[in-house]
Amino acid sequence: SDKNEQTVTVSVERRFKHPVLKKIIRKSKKYRAHDPKNSFKEGDQVRIQECAPVSKSKRWEVLVA
């Protein structure tokens, strides 16, 4: 999502095998990342890395699409 100024919300999905059921489980987590140039739009695949806190909820920055 790119609705906020200089902020993008990135959804990261991980897959793992359930230890008992042996099924592949998908879980996702949302991270708020700093985008100073507002260059990324919804649907873009981006790479993020951890950084010093930019605000109360932003501890990630966008590297590249």
Predicted TM-score (pTM) of this structure? 0.83
Q: What is the pLDDT along the chain (65 residues), one digit of tens a residue?
A: 889 999 999 999 999 999 999 999 999 999 999 999 999 999 999 999 999 999 999 999 999 87
- Beta-bridge mates of residue 15: 26
Rounded-to-integer distance, Cα 4 and Cα 16, Å: 32
Neighbours of 28 (CB within 10 A): 8
The Cα 61–Cα 51 span in angstroms is 6
Give residue limits of the domains in the chain: 7-64
Q: Among 2.60.40.10, 2.40.50.140, 3.40.50.620, 3.60.21.10, what is the CATH number of 7-64?
A: 2.40.50.140
Among residues 11, 43, 12, 3, the alpha carbon closest in space to that of 35 is found at: 3
